[in-house]
Amino acid sequence: MRRRSVLAEDQTAVVWPAWLFSSAFHAAALTVAAISGAEMLRGGFAPPERPTAMHLDLQLTDEQPDSAAEEPEHDVGAPAAPTSAATEEPPPPAVQKPLPAPPAETPTAAAESAADADTSVAERPLPSVLGLENYEAERAALAAAAANASNGDGRGHVRVGHLGGKATVRLFGVEGTGSSFVYVFDRSTSMAGAPLAAAQQQLLGSLDALSSVHQFHIIFFNHRIDAWSGADGGGRTAFATQRNKRLAADFVRGITAHGGTYRLDALHKALRLSPDVIFFLTDADDTMPAGEVAEAIRLAGRSGTMIACIEFGVGPASARSNFLTELARGAGGQYAYVNVQNLRP
């Protein structure tokens, strides 16, 4: 009886429920199976995972730790990334190499460059000023004409005038300043001989002294007009080029004296050209009506033309005024008297 009691107490102390052991066993088995299955799937049966860009970078970094520190060729100034901040000191920043300086310019080369720059500026054409480019040649021509061409009493044809294309022309002692000149000369019978020869000589000397910037025209008259046709045949004023002056000289030399005297048409033709100066040469044997003189003065005032008058007469000059003195006074010009008895044939 005593032995059974002891066994009964022991059995009460160590006996566990069967379901508890079963549950613990199955839980442990399931845990082991889950761990083993996961390992098997990861190692043998799972398809290989395709590395992403981030994984690829990490793998390359892990496999080639030294290549990450190399500097790319196209980025000279970028510092290399440290592989371990704890064990390695950061590399010093890369020093960018300065670009090679251009070769120093020698004093000779600098001087040549400066000379080239000055030459290029100097070679640029300057704006042309009317009359300036021909001023020296014009001055020499005018001086030569004034010294060599005279009418016997020391009065030259032309003297040096103004810049800007203007000249002061002297003819038989009267002067006119401008850039365009028209010569209106009498060729009637009274001008035959020495008077016409003197008029032609003075006219040719005046043309020779004109520069190419000046313009001119020539009109002879008796009872009708005999005018130079001009350089183009149109009867207009022409520039005093060498060619035009030669053509005009041929025309002047071919003039002869004959016929009557009618002056107004010749003056009208000259005034229609609107020149700066008209040299009007005639005699006073046949007077010019006062109405015609007034008409010529009116037309000259309208065109801004000065009329210089030259009277050819026989004997000493008269103190009395005549239509030529009135015309010169009314048109702002000068007047001169020439005694044809003093002219050399």
**What pLDDT score does 125 carry?**
38
**What pLDDT score does 165 carry?**
74
**What pLDDT score does 50 carry?**
52
Return the bridge partners of 174, or none. Answer: 171
**What pLDDT score does 37 carry?**
58
Distance CA 309, CA 333 (A): 7
Looking at the domain assignment, is residue 304 inside a domain? yes
- What's the total number of domains in the chain? 1
**What pLDDT score does 120 carry?**
36
**What pLDDT score does 69 carry?**
42
Looking at the domain assignment, is residue 200 inside a domain? yes
**What pLDDT score does 23 carry?**
73
Return the bridge partners of 75, or none. Answer: none
What is the domain-level CATH number for residue 240?
3.40.50.410
Nearest Cα neighbor of 306 from 196, 142, 180 is 180
**What pLDDT score does 235 carry?**
83
| Helix count and strand count (H, E) for the chain | 10, 10
Looking at the domain assignment, is residue 53 inside a domain? no
Mean pLDDT of the chain: 72
Distance CA 247, CA 26 (A): 141
Q: Which residues of the chain have pLDDT under 50?
A: 1-12, 44-48, 51-88, 97-98, 102-103, 105-163
Looking at the domain assignment, is residue 251 inside a domain? yes
Paired tokens of 309: 């008058």
Domain that holds residue 317: 135-342
Strands 158-159 and 335-339: what pairing? unpaired
Nearest Cα neighbor of 225 from 192, 188, 266 is 266
Looking at the domain assignment, is residue 140 inside a domain? yes
Distance CA 27, CA 144 (A): 141
Looking at the domain assignment, is residue 312 inside a domain? yes
**What pLDDT score does 142 carry?**
39
**What pLDDT score does 59 carry?**
46
Model confidence over 313-337: pLDDT tens digits?
999 988 889 999 999 999 999 999 9
Model confidence over 156-172: pLDDT tens digits?
444 444 445 788 999 99
Nearest Cα neighbor of 169 from 152, 201, 145 is 145
**What pLDDT score does 14 carry?**
54
**What pLDDT score does 283 carry?**
92
Looking at the domain assignment, is residue 183 inside a domain? yes
Looking at the domain assignment, is residue 204 inside a domain? yes
